[in-house]
A and B are shown apart, each in its own frame.
Chain A
Amino acid sequence: MNEVNNMLEIKDLKVNIEDKEILKGINLTVNAGEVHAIMGPNGSGKSTLASALAGRDYFNITHGKVSYQGKDLLELTPEDRAREGIFLGFQYPVEIPGVSMVNFLRTAINQKRKYQGLDPMPAGDFLKLMREKKKVVEINSDLTNRSVNEGFSGGEKKKNEIFQMALLEPKLAILDETDSGLDIDALRIVANGVNNLRSPETATIIITHYQRLLDYIVPDFVHVLYKGRIVKSGDKTLAKELEEHGYDWIKQEVEYGNA
């Protein structure tokens, strides 16, 4: 393993919600420049993995290690993980009434800059950056003038996640079912946003139930998560296979393999 490229290394990660073990030993290595897709049937633990990596506190990590750019990720607070460049695109983005998108994102950027020892971004520069990134995700100006996610449609919320991602320029983006509930135009926009972020220095983990997003964002690796374990990994052809045959053959493989 090339140390320089190593972005995220998950070793035997076990996660409980209350007393129930959801993740039963995840191993995954993501290098800079790579796009990984994590697929799997409902309830397999995909969103738990995303939330645990972002630091959601009601997930109880019982075992394992996660290193991110050489740091012990599990030691970092959620906000420090974000400031270190981890971005989670939420499956269900929450509404924050009364807090304007501008105020929200300026606070986010300036807290990150403070963490990095930089001065706050001048207001003019920030607004210019907003304008630039709005174009990338073809987001309506009207949306960014409103309160965070308040009254947004499902598709607008997802586009807003990608907009925030574009603005915050993360090193590692984790997109939790960002494609669910999107029409074909929104899907294309989301994909554009992700592809724009793609670079040799960044990595993306796409969590999805369906293959269709992967027509737009071509992954380097595809993993199948089932019952809290990664049971199969492959290249983009694995996604096609899943699309054609569903998850049943994987389930069978796992059950018989275990028997």
Chain B
Amino acid sequence: MEDQEKILSEVTDSDYKYGFQTDIETETIPKGLNEDVVRLISSKKEEPEWLLESRLKAFRHWQSMKMPKWAHLTIPDINYQDIIFYAAPKQGAKYESMDEVDPELIDTFNKLGIPLEEQKQLAGVAVDAVMDSVSVKTTFQDTLADKGIIFCSFSEAVKNHPDLVKKYMGSVVPYTDNYFAALNSAVFSDGSFCHIPKGVRCPMELSTYFRINASNTGQFERTLIVAEDDSYVSYLEGCTAPMRDENQLHAAIVEIVAMENAEVKYSTVQNWYPGNKEGVGGIFNFVTKRGICKGDNSKISWTQVETGSAVTWKYPSCILRGNNSVGEFYSVAVTNNYQQADTGTKMMHIGKNTRSTIISKGISAGKSQNSYRGLVKVLKGAENARNFSQCDSLLLGDKCGAHTFPYLEVDNKSAIVEHEATTSKIGEDQIFYCNQRGIDTENAISLIVNGYAKEVLNKLPMEFAVEAQKLLALTLEGSVG
């Protein structure tokens, strides 16, 4: 048992592998938030009047709101006047080839293990790399354009496809939705836009690597994915932030619209800086992710591996409006040291024969708190709705917490809603069994944790699954319970 203590403390000593800062000159605006700042952001981005109006409406609404307190999280007050709301890498020009890209930036991606060069050649992954708030490099656009697929930064979409943006932006997550959605709608900097036309299967995984880089900068990403009838797309989002002492705010919005027979898979590996072992620093991650299965027989599938951030507040959800539509949520959330996560999903069954599946695997270590919070709501008209939820918690050590807050609201008698939950600890017996076969404790934990999370990891696209497995091992390095 002494060993456990030792090993547990070793975890806490393990450094954040991605802690480095790229010295790229950034253009920032003064700290603080007011209408002028909102106007400034909009003008810097040369936005049309309607978008500025939309930002201002959101900002005024946000001012009337209070930060929600219902989550099982302890968060210090955030001083919004002490945050820089816009930062763009100074060299704003677009590049035709990799030679033109700042070598430091390429180096950053190399350290992340996602060299653009390689990604261009390998795997067929198109990368829209978002460094802070402006897209620096977008690849594969031509290939995609041949299929009529639009995959670009949000700003570009505003310029080149204003009708689509105007039509769908805020249609799934209105600015009135919640405090952080209102904030994002007022100050969002950039993000990704993706439109898959009718009948098109996107031939490659679309991938965006987000990265908070400039010091003390809030990151307000906005992503919009629209899949027209009979289309398919798989979208990968990865986040890694360099080490920083002050808490950083991250409030993103992701909206997905799936029309008839369309399918959208959205996968995330989130590895923002979690703070140090004393719980100082780290990202505050408040994300609103929601998709609507608008058309019949449509499907939206969320898969997330959450290993980072000091605070995670995130509930990727599905509105199942079309008949026979399907919503899925697969999640692995790992917390260590003083990390706090309150994450889960909402499945809103509106259409007939709608089905949803929720698989949530929480892993807590150190002194962390890990909560699952989920709502399954079956509305009156949702004949034969089905839901299956499974929420498992795994504890490492005896100083961490795992909590489950499932909410069920069923207004239709034909609905079948199932909920299963388990809590387990990695046993000394399991570790010793592995040790006795020559497997050291680090590897034993990695094996056991990956085994535990397998159902979810299997849902990730190949190239992500490997990274996710490594991340799990890294996050829990040396920890035993």
Residues of A at the B interface (CB closer than 8 Å) are: 54-58, 77-79, 81-83, 87-88, 90, 93-94, 96-100, 103-105, 107-109, 111-112, 115, 147-148, 164, 168
Closest to A89 in B: B436
B54 within 8 A of A: no
B43 within 8 A of A: no
Is the Cβ of B438 less than 8 Å from the Cβ of A97?
Answer: no
Is the Cβ of B437 less than 8 Å from the Cβ of A108?
Answer: yes
Is the Cβ of B438 less than 8 Å from the Cβ of A83?
Answer: yes
The answer for the CA separation of A228 and B469 in the assembled complex, in Å, is 45
Q: 10 closest pairs, A vs B, by CB?
A: A98-B451, A99-B451, A78-B435, A82-B438, A108-B437, A112-B438, A94-B429, A83-B438, A79-B435, A79-B440
Q: Which residues of B contact A94 (CB under 8 A)?
A: 427, 429-430, 433
Is the Cβ of A78 less than 8 Å from the Cβ of B452?
Answer: no
B67 within 8 A of A: no
Is the Cβ of B433 less than 8 Å from the Cβ of A90?
Answer: yes
Is the Cβ of B432 less than 8 Å from the Cβ of A78?
Answer: yes
With A90-B433, A93-B433, A94-B433 already in contact, the answer to whether A99 and B439 are too (CB < 8 A) is no
Interface centre among B1, B439, B447, B450 (most CB of A within 10 A): B439
Is the Cβ of A56 less than 8 Å from the Cβ of B432?
Answer: yes
The answer for the CA separation of A78 and B453 in the assembled complex, in Å, is 26
With A94-B427, A94-B429, A96-B430 already in contact, the answer to whether A107 and B439 are too (CB < 8 A) is yes
The answer for the CA separation of A58 and B432 in the assembled complex, in Å, is 11
Q: Which of B427, B432, B447 contacts A107 (CB 8 A)?
A: B447
Q: Which residues of A contact B439 (CB under 8 A)?
A: 79, 104, 107-108, 111
B99 within 8 A of A: no
Is the Cβ of B436 less than 8 Å from the Cβ of A99?
Answer: no
Please list 25 pairs of residues, one from A and one from B, whose beta carbons are closer than 8 Å in the complex, sorted by A's number: A54-B432, A57-B432, A78-B432, A78-B435, A78-B436, A79-B436, A79-B440, A82-B437, A87-B436, A94-B427, A94-B429, A96-B447, A97-B452, A98-B451, A99-B450, A103-B447, A103-B451, A104-B437, A104-B439, A108-B434, A108-B437, A108-B438, A111-B439, A111-B440, A168-B437
Residues of B at the A interface (CB closer than 8 Å) are: 1-3, 427-430, 432-441, 443, 447-448, 450-455
CB distance from B455 to the nearest CB of A (A): 8
CB distance from A6 to the nearest CB of B (A): 23
Q: Which residues of B contact A78 (CB under 8 A)?
A: 432, 435-436
Q: Which residues of A contact B451 (CB under 8 A)?
A: 96-100, 103, 147
Is the Cβ of A104 less than 8 Å from the Cβ of B1?
Answer: no
Is the Cβ of B436 less than 8 Å from the Cβ of A107?
Answer: no
CB distance from B425 to the nearest CB of A (A): 13
The answer for the CA separation of A115 and B440 in the assembled complex, in Å, is 11
Is the Cβ of A98 less than 8 Å from the Cβ of B438?
Answer: no
With A58-B1, A96-B430, A97-B452 already in contact, the answer to whether A104 and B436 are too (CB < 8 A) is no
CB distance from B151 to the nearest CB of A (A): 35
The answer for the CA separation of A104 and B439 in the assembled complex, in Å, is 9
Interface centre among A58, A79, A81, A111 (most CB of B within 10 A): A79
Is the Cβ of B438 less than 8 Å from the Cβ of A168?
Answer: yes
Closest to A150 in B: B451
Is the Cβ of B438 less than 8 Å from the Cβ of A111?
Answer: yes
Q: Which of A82, A96, A105, A148 contacts B436 (CB 8 A)?
A: A82
Q: Which residues of A contact B436 (CB under 8 A)?
A: 54-55, 78-79, 81-82, 87-88, 90
Q: Which of A56, A99, A112 contacts B448 (CB 8 A)?
A: A99
Is the Cβ of A55 less than 8 Å from the Cβ of B443?
Answer: no
CB distance from A14 to the nearest CB of B (A): 20
Is the Cβ of B435 less than 8 Å from the Cβ of A77?
Answer: yes
CB distance from A179 to the nearest CB of B (A): 19
Closest to A96 in B: B430
Is the Cβ of A99 less than 8 Å from the Cβ of B447?
Answer: yes
CB distance from B388 to the nearest CB of A (A): 19
Q: Which residues of A contact B453 (CB under 8 A)?
A: 98
Interface centre among B3, B437, B440 (most CB of A within 10 A): B437
Q: Which residues of B contact A148 (CB under 8 A)?
A: 433
The answer for the CA separation of A115 and B448 in the assembled complex, in Å, is 21
Q: Which residues of A contact B441 (CB under 8 A)?
A: 79
CB distance from A149 to the nearest CB of B (A): 9
Is the Cβ of A79 less than 8 Å from the Cβ of B438?
Answer: yes
The answer for the CA separation of A167 and B436 in the assembled complex, in Å, is 14
With A83-B438, A108-B438 already in contact, the answer to whether A98 and B454 are too (CB < 8 A) is yes
Q: Which residues of B contact A93 (CB under 8 A)?
A: 433
A79-B436, A87-B436, A107-B443 given; 20 more Cβ-contact pairs under 8 Å:
A55-B435, A55-B436, A78-B435, A78-B436, A79-B440, A81-B436, A83-B438, A88-B436, A90-B436, A96-B433, A98-B448, A98-B455, A99-B451, A103-B447, A104-B434, A107-B447, A108-B438, A108-B439, A111-B440, A168-B438
The answer for the CA separation of A94 and B440 in the assembled complex, in Å, is 17
CB distance from B274 to the nearest CB of A (A): 24
With A57-B1, A58-B1 already in contact, the answer to whether A164 and B437 are too (CB < 8 A) is yes
CB distance from A87 to the nearest CB of B (A): 8
CB distance from A244 to the nearest CB of B (A): 35
Q: Which residues of B contact A98 (CB under 8 A)?
A: 448, 450-455
Closest to B447 in A: A99
CB distance from A143 to the nearest CB of B (A): 16
CB distance from A65 to the nearest CB of B (A): 21
Q: Which residues of B contact A97 (CB under 8 A)?
A: 451-452
Closest to A167 in B: B437
With A94-B430, A96-B433 already in contact, the answer to whether A104 and B440 are too (CB < 8 A) is no
Closest to B440 in A: A79
Q: Which residues of A contact B427 (CB under 8 A)?
A: 94
Q: Which residues of A contact B2 (CB under 8 A)?
A: 57
With A96-B448, A97-B451, A107-B447 already in contact, the answer to whether A115 and B435 are too (CB < 8 A) is no
Q: Which residues of B contact A54 (CB under 8 A)?
A: 432, 436
Q: Which residues of B contact A83 (CB under 8 A)?
A: 438
Q: Which residues of B contact A108 (CB under 8 A)?
A: 434, 437-439
Q: Which residues of B contact A147 (CB under 8 A)?
A: 451
Q: Which residues of A contact B1 (CB under 8 A)?
A: 57-58
The answer for the CA separation of A94 and B424 in the assembled complex, in Å, is 14
The answer for the CA separation of A54 and B427 in the assembled complex, in Å, is 17
CB distance from B443 to the nearest CB of A (A): 6
With A55-B435, A96-B433, A104-B437 already in contact, the answer to whether A111 and B443 are too (CB < 8 A) is yes
